[in-house]
C-alpha cells in the first residue's frame, strides 16, 4: 500500500533519509526529511481539527514558499484534495476556480491575497492563513478573523490509493479550463516514473524555478525529489530569478534542474550578457511543457556541459508521459520527446486503429498515472476518452527506435490549402538563426488558402534583423508553402503564468496590431 500512495512514498523517504536535507529557503534555513514530515503531520492534524474531512477540497494560493509545500502535503495527508491556484488570478478567475473545484476552504499566506479572499467571501468559503516563522517552529493556522487554530496532538491517518489528492485545471487553450482530479495512485505512479528515468537519489539536489501551482514544478521538480530522498531549494524571492539562479545552484550543490523552454532561453541570455565565473557540474538538464527547439537544446548543452533531456507531459497524466534517457541508458534524439515511461502509448487514426512506425496520428495513452476523467464534464470525457485510451490532442509518430516525434497539436496544425504545416517545425528553423532569441509561428485566416502562416520573433540584443532577412532565411530552409507570409518583430509575446506559449492567443494579439506600423509590447 505504501508504494501506491504519494504520502506513503514520502514517509518511506523520511524514514530512510531522516537527517538528509529535504527543503531549503535560499539563505534562510534548511529542513530535513524527518523535520518536514513532522511539520506535515502536525499541519494535517490542525486541518482535521478545523473541520476538513476526507474528500474536501482545500484551495491554496501561495508563492513558492515552505508554507505552501507543508500545507499542500498536509491537505493530501488528511485525505483531502489540494487545489493549488495561481496568485495572479483576478477575483473573477478565483471565483471560477473556487466554484468549479467546490473548495471548502481557502488558505493563503499571512499577507493574504485580496482577489482570492474576495472571491471566497462571495462564495461563502472559509479562509485561513498559514505561517511558519522558522525551522524550529510549527505551522500556525489563523482564521479570517485572526483566531489561531488551537494546537492538537497528531492524529494517525491512513491514505488510500483512490483518494483524490490533487485537483488542477487544464490550460483551456480551446475551451474553458477542465477540472482534472488526480489520485494518490496517479501521483505515486508519476513520481516513481520520474525518479526511475532520471535515477534520482538522496545525492541529488535542485533549485525550483517553476511555480508550484503548476503540475511541472510540483511533480517533477518538488515531489519526485522528495520521494527520492533528494533536496530542493526555493529561491529567496519565492519565484524564479535569473540573477540568483546559478548562485543558488552552486550554494546548494544542485545536480539538475527542470524548466520550460522560455526559462531555458532566459538562462542562456543571462549567460551571454552576464556569464558566471563558474557553473556547477550537472548530471542533466530537463525540458518539458513545450517544444524545445533543437538549436536551443544544442546551445544549452554546449554552454553548460550537461545533457539536455526533453520530456513530454500533460496534467491529465499527472505530468510525465515520455522522456529522453540519460546518456548511459540510450541516445538523446534532438526533436524527439523520448520513449514512453511507465504507461502504454499508441498512435491512433480517427477510427481508433493503431498506426505503424513513421505514420502520424493522435498520441493516446493509458496507465496508472492517468486521471479517470474530467470532473463534471461528460462532453470532454466523451471526446477525450475513447477506444480505451486517453486522447492527448497531439499529433505524432514513433520512429524505428520507439522514440516519439511530435508534429503539433491537432487544433494548431496549419492547413494551408490542404498542406498541413507543423508550427513546431517552423519555430525550429527560425530559432536556428543566430540573431533570433525567441520565435513562435501560428495560423491566420486567409481568403485564398483558408489559412496562412505568420510568425513573431524576438531579436537578440543588439540585432537589427528585419522582416526581409527573416523571410529570406526561411526561404532557404523551408519548403515554399511553409514560409511565413508575415513576420512580426517585437520584444515580447503572450505567455501563460507558467511560461507556455499558446499560439491562438499569440495570433489574436498580433492580428490586432496588423494595421499599425509598430507592434507594441504585449501588455503595454
Q: Does the pLDDT value for residue 421 go beyond 90?
A: no
The answer to whether residues 346 and 429 belong to one domain is no
Report the percentage of the chain scoring pLDDT > 70.
Answer: 95
Q: What value does the mean pLDDT of the chain take?
A: 91
Edge-to-edge order in the sheet of strand 486-489: 436-446, 450-459, 486-489
**Residue 314 shares a structural domain with residue 419:** no
Do 58 and 163 lie in one domain? The reply is: yes
Interval 473-488 mean pLDDT: 92
Supply 109's cell numbers: 499566506
Please give the residue range of the domain that contains residue 120.
2-394
Q: Look at residue 3 and tell me whether its pLDDT is greater than 90.
A: no
For residue 230, being part of any structural domain is answered with yes
Relative to beta strand 21-25, strand 231-234 is: parallel
444: CATH: 3.30.300.30
Q: Is residue 218 part of a domain?
A: yes
Asked if residue 519 is part of any domain, the answer here is no
Dihedral angle at the C-alpha atoms of 54, 57, 58, 59, nearest 10 degrees? 170
Whether residue 468 is found in the same domain as residue 370? no
Residues 322 and 421 in one domain: no
Model confidence band, residue 500 (pLDDT cutoffs 50, 70, 90): confident
Strand duo 256-259 + 284-287: pairing: parallel
* 346's grid cell: 499508441
- Domain final position from 394, 427, 452: 394
pLDDT confidence of 2, banded at 50, 70, 90?
low
Q: How many domains does the chain have?
A: 2
Same domain, 229 and 312: yes
Q: What is the pLDDT of residue 334?
A: 78
pLDDT, tens digit, for every residue of 205-251? 999 999 999 999 999 999 999 999 999 999 999 999 999 999 999 99
Tell me, yes or no, whether 400 lies in a domain: no
What CATH number has the domain bearing residue 308? 3.40.50.12780
> Which of the residue ranges 265-269, 327-331, 332-336 would you say has the lowest mean pLDDT?
332-336
Q: Is 516 part of any domain? A: no
386 and 425 in a single domain? The answer is no
Least confident of 1-5, 135-139, 194-198: 1-5
Same domain, 358 and 450: no
Do residues 364 and 425 share a domain? no
Position 150 scores a pLDDT of 82
Is residue 294 domain-shared with residue 202, that is, in the same domain? Answer: yes
Is 230 in contact with 12 (CB distance < 8 Å)? no
**By mean pLDDT, which of 113-127, 470-484, 487-501, 504-518 is the weakest?**
504-518
- Count CB-CB contacts under 10 A for residue 512: 10
- Do residues 453 and 421 make contact, with C-beta atoms less than 8 angstroms apart? yes
Residue 63 domain flag: yes
* Residue 245 near residue 254, CB atoms below 8 Å: no
Its pTM stands at 0.85
Residue-level pLDDT at 521: 43
Residues 446 and 365 in one domain: no
Cα 202 off chain centre by: 23
358's enclosing H/E stretch is none
Query: Whose CA is closest to 482, among 437, 418, 416, 436?
Result: 416
Contact 57, 167 (CB under 8 A): yes
Tell me, yes or no, whether 426 and 382 share the same domain: no
* Alpha helix stretches (DSSP H) within 60-113: 66-77, 91-101
Q: Is residue 224 part of a domain?
A: yes
Q: Residue 405 domain-assigned?
A: no
- Of 394, 426, 452, the last residue of a domain is 394
Cα 215 from chain centroid?
5
Q: Which whole number is the average pLDDT over 351-358?
A: 94
Q: How far apart are CA 98 and CA 96, in angstroms?
A: 6
Out of 23-32, 148-157, 478-487, the most confident range is: 23-32
pLDDT in tens, 64-80: 999 999 999 999 999 99
Amino acid at each position: 500500500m505504501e508504494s501506491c500512495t504519494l504520502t506513503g512514498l514520502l514517509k518511506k523517504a523520511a524514514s530512510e533519509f531522516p537527517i538528509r536535507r529535504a527543503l531549503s529557503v535560499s539563505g534562510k534555513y534548511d529542513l530535513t526529511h524527518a523535520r518536514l514530515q513532522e511539520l506535515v503531520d502536525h499541519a494535517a492534524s490542525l486541518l482535521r481539527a478545523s473541520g476538513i474531512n476526507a474528500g474536501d477540497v482545500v484551495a491554496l494560493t501561495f508563492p513558492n514558499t515552505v508554507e505552501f509545500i507543508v500545507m499542500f502535503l498536509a491537505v493530501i495527508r488528511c485525505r483531502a484534495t489540494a487545489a493549488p491556484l495561481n496568485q495572479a488570478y483576478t477575483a473573477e478567475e478565483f471565483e471560477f476556480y473556487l466554484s468549479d473545484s467546490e473548495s471548502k476552504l481557502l488558505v493563503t499566506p499571512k499577507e493574504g491575497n485580496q482577489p482570492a479572499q474576495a472571491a471566497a467571501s462571495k462564495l461563502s468559503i472559509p479562509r485561513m492563513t498559514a505561517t511558519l516563522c522558522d525551522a524550529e517552529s510549527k505551522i500556525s493556522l489563523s482564521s479570517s478573523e485572526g483566531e489561531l487554530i488551537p494546537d492538537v496532538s497528531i492524529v494517525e491517518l491512513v491514505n488510500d490509493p483512490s483518494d483524490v489528492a490533487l485537483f488542477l485545471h487544464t490550460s483551456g487553450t480551446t475551451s474553458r479550463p477542465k477540472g482534472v482530479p488526480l489520485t494518490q495512485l496517479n501521483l505515486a505512479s508519476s513520481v516513481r516514473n520520474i525518479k526511475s528515468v532520471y535515477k534520482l537519489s538522496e545525492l541529488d539536489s535542485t533549485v525550483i524555478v517553476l511555480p508550484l501551482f503548476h503540475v511541472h514544478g510540483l511533480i517533477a521538480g518538488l515531489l519526485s525529489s522528495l520521494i527520492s530522498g533528494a533536496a530542493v531549494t526555493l529561491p529567496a524571492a519565492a519565484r524564479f530569478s535569473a540573477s540568483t539562479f546559478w548562485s543558488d545552484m552552486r550554494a546548494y550543490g544542485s545536480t539538475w534542474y527542470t524548466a520550460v523552454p522560455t526559462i531555458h532561453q532566459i538562462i542562456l541570455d543571462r549567460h551571454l550578457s552576464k556569464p558566471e565565473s563558474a557553473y556547477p557540474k550537472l548530471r542533466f538538464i530537463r525540458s518539458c511543457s513545450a517544444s524545445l527547439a533543437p538549436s536551443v537544446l544544442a546551445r544549452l548543452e554546449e554552454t553548460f556541459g550537461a545533457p539536455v533531456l526533453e520530456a513530454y507531459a500533460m496534467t491529465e497524466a499527472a505530468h510525465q508521459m515520455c522522456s529522453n534517457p540519460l546518456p548511459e541508458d540510450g541516445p538523446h534524439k534532438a526533436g524527439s520527446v523520448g520513449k514512453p515511461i511507465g504507461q502504454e502509448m499508441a498512435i491512433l487514426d480517427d477510427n481508433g486503429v493503431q498506426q505503424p512506425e513513421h505514420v502520424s496520428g493522435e498520441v493516446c495513452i493509458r496507465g496508472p498515472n492517468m486521471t479517470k476523467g474530467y470532473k463534471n464534464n461528460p462532453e470532454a470525457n466523451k471526446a477525450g476518452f475513447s477506444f480505451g485510451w486517453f486522447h492527448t490532442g497531439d499529433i505524432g509518430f514513433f520512429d524505428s527506435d520507439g522514440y516519439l516525434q511530435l508534429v503539433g497539436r491537432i487544433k494548431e496544425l496549419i492547413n494551408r490549402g490542404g498542406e498541413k504545416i507543423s508550427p513546431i517545425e517552423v519555430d525550429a528553423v527560425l530559432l536556428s538563426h543566430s540573431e533570433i532569441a525567441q520565435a513562435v509561428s501560428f495560423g491566420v485566416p486567409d481568403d485564398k488558402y483558408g489559412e496562412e502562416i505568420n510568425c513573431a520573433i524576438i531579436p537578440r540584443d543588439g540585432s537589427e534583423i528585419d522582416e526581409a532577412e527573416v523571410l529570406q532565411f526561411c526561404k532557404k530552409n523551408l519548403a515554399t508553402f511553409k514560409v511565413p507570409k508575415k513576420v512580426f518583430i517585437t520584444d515580447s509575446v503572450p505567455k501563460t503564468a507558467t511560461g507556455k506559449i499558446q499560439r491562438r492567443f499569440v495570433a489574436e494579439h498580433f492580428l490586432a496590431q496588423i494595421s499599425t506600423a509598430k507592434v507594441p509590447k504585449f501588455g503595454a
